[in-house]
Amino acid sequence: MKVNFRKYRFWFISIPVLITLLMLLPVRNAKINPDLMEYFPDEIEAKLNIEKIEETFGKNDPVIIIFEAGDILNNNTLERIQKINSAFLKTQKFTDVISLFESKYIRGEEGMMLVDPVIIKIPENEREREDVRSEIRNNPLVYKLLVSEDFKYTLMLVNPMENLSDNEIFEIINKVLSDHKGTERILLSGLPFLRYEIQQKAIRDLLILLPSGLIIMILFLYLSFREMRGVLLPFSVVLMSMISSMGIMPLLHYDLSIIAVLIPIMMIAIANNYGVHIVARYQELNALYPDWDMNRIVSEVMSLLKMPLILTALTTIIGLLGLAAQIMVPAKQMGLVSSAGIGLALLLSLYFIPSVMTGLKKGRIRKTFKGHKESVIDHFLMWAGKMATEKPYAVITGFLLVLIFLGTGISRLHVSINLEKMMPASHPLRISTNIANTNFGGTKYISVLFEGDILDPDLMHTMDNFETNLKKLPEVGNVSSLATVIKTISRALHDPGDKYYDVIPENRDAIAQYIEFYNMSGDPDDFEKIVDFNYTKAILNVQFKANDIKEFNKVASYIKDLISNSEYCTLMAGQSLMEKEMSESIVRGQINSLIFAVFAIALLLWIIFRSLTAGLLGTIPLLFALVCNFGLMGWTGFDLDIATSLLSSIAIGIGVDYIIHFFWRFKYDLKNGNNYKTAVINTLTTTGRGISINAFSVIIGFSVLLFSGLTILKTFGLLIIFSLLVCLLCALLLVPAICMIFKPEFLQK
């Protein structure tokens, strides 16, 4: 049924504008949530285990401050660290401050055990400095934990109070550090710093990339159509879809995650697709039928394009809904919100754009449609038509060779487990992580919970055996627990060679007495992070490094084996296990979304063209693009992460549009009596132009991600551009070549 756009023009224009203005209101309430740990459902095991440990031992989410100097025992360096340490304590905003001036040195003196800070006073001469250096080397609670083996680095850990936001935390930290300047290089690390940097860079991306993307899109549309309606009509759809999508999120109580930043970029890239085809077909009919008035041209354009526009929007929406198969909550939200935005863009293209066009005068006739091929795209389409019709076997062979070469790279593909890789290589977080992995035993932590009578010698020996066995792994840098403290106390109370030296006592009372000795000289609260008040629960902390998930699984599996053989161990937890869960969910989500998207689109193509062949033929370019994309990632070293895992569903949803437009126009030309060769050339030089402009507008929309401050978004931008280029080449070369050889029957119906 044809719609009288002129008659209902006022409503088709005013209602979308009003809705857009209303959606601006909730956009003001949108907020960015950079906490990666909240991206996963509450019921996953790793998350529940962290909560169980935090119930007893409190939340431990420290900011790590690394000091680098020629010698960290230098007087000026120690004075600066001491001042910074004191400044943090004075703020009363941190539950813990751990440094050389807060950590303990347990030692024996004249038959007594003393517990003092590692540095009681700053050494005044070289002899005193070397004495302190020797004491640190003999202190297992500090050496290689807070001080590097070469004494070039030392750590300070500050654990903020739970009611502080990341912005407040780093406002305090930055002020303290700026108030106490020195020659030492200071680097920050830790999960709070990662969250803070994600938030800052996400805000920066929204403020810079969005306007840049819109400006680039305007320039591209003008260069493509050379008239203002070709710019303003698709652009208005982009703007309204983008505002509405961003408004939906706070209405549904969705926070802006690191990947939700992609939603407005996706609207810039995708929402103009349908308007681009309408303007391209309008220019074609305007040139072919110069005597037609605007109302007739618009009516004919919508008659020809309504169904393919609806179908291509449906396939894009299906691809995006494939994200609902992801485990990550923001990915599900992104799929739903983006789908709603694309649905709105379709409605605007079907009713808003033609309604506006009926009120405009006809534009000038483009030379392209009078036989003058004036652009690079036009020349390429003519060449593609010639290659597909005259050398189809050569085209298919060329594509197969590319597929084989890139496909072999899939075996080299890795899943990322290192969150710091979200940042550029020069970012302080990446540098500090490398320092920690090299000098402090690694940045991965796993805590093992022990339950029972913690002072029982058998349980204490089990802890000690855990430490001994885990330290044999090359990936493990440090293992610490109450057993470490007890053995340190034994070295302070006994002389080397004594049978009680550096061992766990065999008597419960002796262990309790060791702790009492400590409490007499030290602070009982020093133990609160490793054992509870009643001595019924204790944790053992494992620090290690892992470059990939294989190394991580090696350590985690070893810990699991030790736990399975102990009656005292109840669970293992840690942020790094959440990272592992994230990595595994990326793989599972990738597989689930791929299966959903490919089969759903194949089924839809089957239904649209009433042919199984259409479904199979339509998925060939998609599968080709996916294999090439993952292969390229393997060859170039790009990891599969929380952003690149979204690629498949998005690329499939967009890429299949090109195939549908090709099939639809190709059938139309065959129906009008053209042979296959003529139909291929006609399709590529007419609808192929709209497909190409569509594809390049999407590519240009995503290209702004190359300027993101976050590496994962840059990588996503590069790979989505590559995937869409492959889909475009498949639609313009591979599929026409296959059609020339096999002449599918469904195209002739």
Q: Are residues 471 and 492 in the same domain?
A: yes
Please state the rounded mean pLDDT for residues 721-741.
Answer: 91
Separation between Cα atoms, residue 397 and residue 392, nearest integer Å? 9
Report if residue 3 sits inside a domain: no
Instruction: Mark whether 592 and 718 lie in a shared domain.
Output: yes
Question: Greatest CA separation found in the chain?
Answer: 110
Write down the pLDDT at residue 84. Answer: 95
> Domain check: are 182 and 203 in the same one?
no
Structure tokens at 216: 């680039």
231 pLDDT tier (thresholds 50, 70, 90) = confident
Same domain (yes/no): 31, 107: no
CA separation for the pair 132, 154 (Å, rounded): 14
Q: Looking at the structure, do residues 729 and 686 belong to the same domain, yes or no? A: yes
Query: What pLDDT score was predicted for residue 68?
Result: 95
Per-residue model confidence (pLDDT) at position 284: 83
| Range with top average pLDDT, 47-61, 406-420, 440-454, 641-655 | 440-454
pLDDT band at 111; cut points 50, 70, 90 = low
pLDDT band at 494 (very low <50, low <70, confident <90, very high): confident
Query: Is the residue at 347 inside a domain?
Result: no
Task: Give the pLDDT of residue 368.
Answer: 55
Q: What dihedral angle (degrees, nearest 10) is formed by the CA atoms of 207, 209, 642, 422?
A: -80
What local confidence, expressed as pLDDT, does residue 366 receive?
62
C-alpha–C-alpha distance, residues 283 and 651, integer Å: 28
Across the range 248-269, mean pLDDT stands at 82
Over range 719-742, report the average pLDDT.
Answer: 90
State pLDDT tens for residues 24-42. 888 877 777 777 677 777 7
Q: Same structural domain for residues 389 and 477?
A: no
Q: Which residues contact 38 (CB under 8 A, 6 or more apart)?
A: 329
Out of 520, 545, 570, a domain closes at 545
Q: What H or E segment, with its residue span, contains residue 107?
A: strand 104-109
pLDDT average, residue stretch 396-416: 90
Quick one: 263 and 236 in the same domain?
Answer: yes
CA–chain centroid gap for 369, Å, is 44
Q: DSSP secondary-structure letter at 473?
A: S
Other Cβ atoms within 10 Å of 644 Cβ, number: 24
pLDDT at 599: 84
Q: 95-109, 372-386, 465-479, 580-594: which range is least confident on average?
A: 580-594
DSSP 455-469: T-HHHHHHHHHHHHH
Structural domain contains residue 130: yes
DSSP state of 149: T
Average pLDDT over residues 235-262: 85
The answer to whether 607 and 613 have CB atoms below 8 angstroms apart is no
Together in a domain, 164 and 206: no
Same structural domain, 735 and 587:
yes
Give the domain CATH number at 734: 1.20.1640.10
Q: Is residue 374 part of a domain?
A: no
Integer CA distances (angstroms), 484 to 33, 223, 487, in order: 38, 70, 5
Residues with Cβ within 8 Å of residue 411, at least 6 apart in sequence: 634
Average pLDDT over residues 6-12: 84
Residue 357 is assigned to a structural domain of this protein: no
- Picking from 527, 545, 563, the residue at the C-terminal end of a domain is 545
Mean pLDDT of 451-477: 93
Give a three-class secondary structure readout of 174-197: HHHHHHCCCCCEEEEECHHHHHHH
pLDDT tens digit sequence for 335-352: 889 899 999 999 999 999
Residue 590 lies in a domain: yes
Is the domain of 120 the same as that of 204?
A: no
β-pairing, 569-573 vs 537-544, is: unpaired
Using alpha carbons, list the distances in angstroms from residue 248 to 24, 261, 303, 514, 666. 10, 14, 31, 61, 38
C-beta separation of 278 from 354 below 8 A: yes
Reply yes or no on whether the pLDDT at 14 is more than 70: yes
In angstroms, what CA-CA distances link 136 with 110, 151, 203, 503, 607? 20, 10, 43, 20, 74
Number of domains in the chain: 3
Of 486, 521, 545, the last residue of a domain is 545
Same-domain pairing of 215 and 320: yes
Q: What is the model's pTM?
A: 0.81
Q: Tell me the pLDDT of the chain averaged across its residues.
A: 86
> What band does 240 get if pLDDT is binned at 50, 70 and 90?
very high
Q: What angle do CA 489, 492, 495 make, to 5 degrees?
A: 125
User: In the prediction, which pLDDT does 153 show?
Assistant: 95
- Domain containing 506 equals 433-545
Distance CA 269, CA 11 (A): 27
Beta-carbon contacts of residue 730 (< 8 Å; ≥ 6 apart): 399, 620, 621, 624, 625, 655, 658, 659
Most confident stretch, 94-108, 355-369, 451-465: 451-465
> Do 289 and 385 share a structural domain?
yes
CA distance 281 to 287: 10
Residue 220 belongs to a domain: yes
Do residues 234 and 11 lie in contact, with contact meaning Cβ atoms separated by under 8 Å?
A: no
**What is the distance between the alpha carbons of residues 183 and 78, in angstroms, rounded to a whole number?**
12
In a domain, 569, yes or no: no
Confidence bin at 504 (pLDDT 50/70/90):
very high
Q: Which 3-state string (H, E, C) describes 341-380?
A: HHHHHHHHHHHHHHHHHCCCCCCCCCHHHHCCCCCHHHHH
12 sits in which H/E element: helix 9-27
The confidence band for 1, taking pLDDT boundaries of 50, 70 and 90, is low
